[in-house]
Amino acid sequence: MFREFKIPVVFFLSINLFFAAETGTENSKDLEKMFPTNLEELGLADTPRLQAAIYYIDFDGGADSNNGLAPAAAFKHSPGDPEAKEKAAEVKLRPGDTVLFKGGVVYRGNITAQYSGSEANPIVYNGNSKANFGTGRAIVDGSEPLTGWKKCVSEKECDGNPNWNNIWWTEVPFPVPDPMAANLYEAGEPLEVAEDPKPKYLYWPDPFNEAEYFGFDVNLTTSTSIQDEKHLLQTDPRAWDGGVVLIRSTDYWVNFKVTGFDPALHKITFPEFKDILAKGMRRNSRGEGYYAMMNAVVILKYPGQYVVKSGEKKSTIYLWPLKNNAAPEGITITRRRCGFNPNGQSNLTIEGFVIQKFVSPRGPGGGGIIDLERKQNGGLVIRDNIITRCNKTLTSGKFGVIFLTGQKGSLVEKNQIYDNRDSVGVEIEYGTGHIIKDNLICRNGGVCILLWVNSKDCQVIGNTIKDNNPEHLDAHSPVGILVYKGCSNILIKGNLVVNNGQRPLALYSPDSDITIACNVFRHKGPYVMEGFGDCKNVSIYNNVTVCDNPNGRIFQMGIKAVKENNIYVASENKQDKGAGYKLDDGHNLYLAPGDMNSIFTDPEHQDFTLKRGSPAIGAGIANGINEDAAGKRFGKVPDIGAFVYIDR
């Protein structure tokens, strides 16, 4: 069993200020007097850092020809940015140095670390966490403004689209690899690639909603074509140029660029996909295959949609703006892969930033802090950042918005990770001693926390994970916490995981010694916990697990586990007659959803502390878990569930 670490766990993260905007400017009088130039005065150092330097970064007012060592002599670009020139490009960071970005300023660039700190004196990249340089957080942004818009003047100019009078277009002097890579925003609001039928949720059609698809006759289908006389009615053979077809396979999506269109046969062609003819392909209620169309001007039908036509050297963007009948304003297009790349360097701290609007056209999906080349490192601290509005492309995999590959323990704590389309929240692979704690992860659409291959001696504690694509319940929809092959000695404690797509917790062939304690898992899918493989020594202690699906159950386990002091809420549960609950030999308490109010303080609002008179009070068995989800100590006879009862 995992040895319990005596670290207080903050279970419920306050999100009252979660969406608060942090922008502003400052008066620049007497800057050199107002701002200290050593780490201790700034409050950024826990230990003395001899001869450490602070390099100031001001993207709006700095210059790379400055020395960077005072606010009035700030660099424009950070050391490590490929766009840095002159003195900014010549800086060789040393252990203890800090790179301090001006708060409230949008920094359009990305930083690749070139140097390592030491354990006692890391190199720090700081986004004005102490409010000593500017106002609010520094914003590291992967996008550029998109201007030069022209209004369509005819239906012909818009490939025959009858909505031509609402559509604008502009050219960009670079190819966009696929429409998702553009990652367009209008005045901070996400725009979506045109799809037909239009899905309810931004990004992919719902696999269980037939209204979000067209059907195709399997008898008229080949491995390279779909024929549909009901919907492929265009008369122009170039109507689907640049278009993408989405085909629902057995349990996953595939997408192909349309290579041709025959108007006479109402047939699109695409690269070969042999599985489309397989008997196991997913079918609708009429026995037809599923498909949807994406990224063609002819299907640009709604405000907030766009289409990308990309050539070898330039691309054309077609847009129906959110502000109807008005010229597009405040449009941005993503140009960079990630905000920070640790690049195999160790003992770095990245803290206090807003990091937004990054996309990777290949390899790992775009994100805030990513080991792009998977170079191993150690001693990274990723703390108190807001990472948002990142995206994946049609071809890149779902990799972490924070993605680290490490040999030695890294700490990812107190970050807010939200609204990153179809992306993993935090992913760590390899190495030992990693800690992921007290993060808020919501509305990302992928696995929220992922311990990948051969991560050992790791902790996932005190995180709040919620609302990650809850409607998409297919096999590849989001998982709250996933522990994968070869991982061992893992502690998962004090997490709140609610309203996610497929299941809150999954163990896929980990190695050994997985302790799951004092968590709250709530879900409306078919089951709450899933486990497969030959993992040894799985302990499930003092959790609250709620399955809101009337046909669901708590476990789908191919792994043996010791289960003690848990509360299981599911319709499948059988209670003792007249008691409203059942207690088994492992002191696990079973009850039906309708009986939760007799056990918990306010389950409707995710408060699963025990109420007075609850049968879970003092009904547990000692199992080595000494503290609950909030850091309160259990008594000699512990309570059942995630929390110690407190008499209010």
- Taking only the tens place, the pLDDT of each residue in 198-225 is 988 766 677 667 888 999 999 999 999 9
Q: CB within 8 A of 316, min separation 6: which ones?
A: 169, 170, 171, 172, 308, 309, 310
More confident residue, 325 or 626: 626
Torsion of CA 606, 609, 611, 617, to 10 degrees: 140
Q: Is the pLDDT of residue 233 over 70?
A: yes
Q: Is the pLDDT of residue 476 over 90?
A: no
Judged by DSSP in three states, 150 sits in strand
The pLDDT mean for the chain works out to 88
Reported as type and span, the H/E element at residue 539 is strand 536-541
Q: What is the mean pLDDT of residues 550-561?
A: 89
Q: Is the pLDDT of residue 495 over 60?
A: yes
The C-alpha atoms of residue 410 and residue 637 are separated, in whole angstroms, by 36
Q: Is the pLDDT of residue 398 over 70?
A: no
User: How big is the CA angle at 215 (ends 212 and 218), to the nearest 5 degrees?
Assistant: 150
- Ordered by where they begin, the domains of the chain are 1-8+336-573 (2.160.20.10), 150-332 (no CATH)
Reported as type and span, the H/E element at residue 320 is strand 315-320
More confident residue, 406 or 128: 128
Say if strands 150-151 and 168-172 run parallel, antiparallel, or are unpaired. Answer: antiparallel
pLDDT for residue 35: 37
More confident residue, 43 or 160: 160
More confident residue, 16 or 56: 56
Among 635, 636, 633, 642, residue whose Cα is nearest residue 6:
633
Lowest mean pLDDT among 23-27, 58-62, 248-252: 23-27
Q: What is the mean pLDDT of residues 462-479?
A: 70
The C-alpha atoms of residue 400 and residue 178 are separated, in whole angstroms, by 20
Q: CB within 8 A of 501, min separation 6: which ones?
A: 445, 468, 469, 470, 471, 472, 473, 477, 478, 479, 525
Question: Which H, E and C letters describe 65-118, residue by residue?
Answer: CCCCCCHHHCECCCCCCCCCCHHHHHCCCCCCCEEEECECCEEECCEECCCCCC
With bands split at pLDDT 50, 70 and 90, how would you rate the model's confidence at 471?
low
Reported as type and span, the H/E element at residue 31 is helix 31-34
Phi, psi of 12 (to 5 degrees): -100, 115
Q: Is the pLDDT of residue 7 over 60?
A: no
Say if strands 338-341 and 111-112 run parallel, antiparallel, or are unpaired. Answer: parallel
pLDDT in tens, 253-287: 789 999 999 999 999 999 999 989 887 788 888 88
pLDDT for residue 82: 97
pLDDT in tens, 427-467: 999 999 999 999 999 988 788 999 999 999 999 999 999 98
With bands split at pLDDT 50, 70 and 90, how would you rate the model's confidence at 576?
confident
Q: Is the pLDDT of residue 38 over 60?
A: no
pLDDT over 70, % of the chain: 88
Lowest mean pLDDT among 79-93, 196-210, 415-429, 482-496: 196-210
Q: Is the pLDDT of residue 6 over 60?
A: no
Please give the structure tokens belonging to residue 505: 């917790």
pLDDT for residue 587: 97
The C-alpha atoms of residue 301 and residue 50 are separated, in whole angstroms, by 62
The C-alpha atoms of residue 285 and residue 288 are separated, in whole angstroms, by 7
pLDDT for residue 282: 81
pLDDT for residue 278: 85
pLDDT over 90, % of the chain: 71
Q: Is the pLDDT of residue 237 over 60?
A: yes
With bands split at pLDDT 50, 70 and 90, how would you rate the model's confidence at 648?
confident
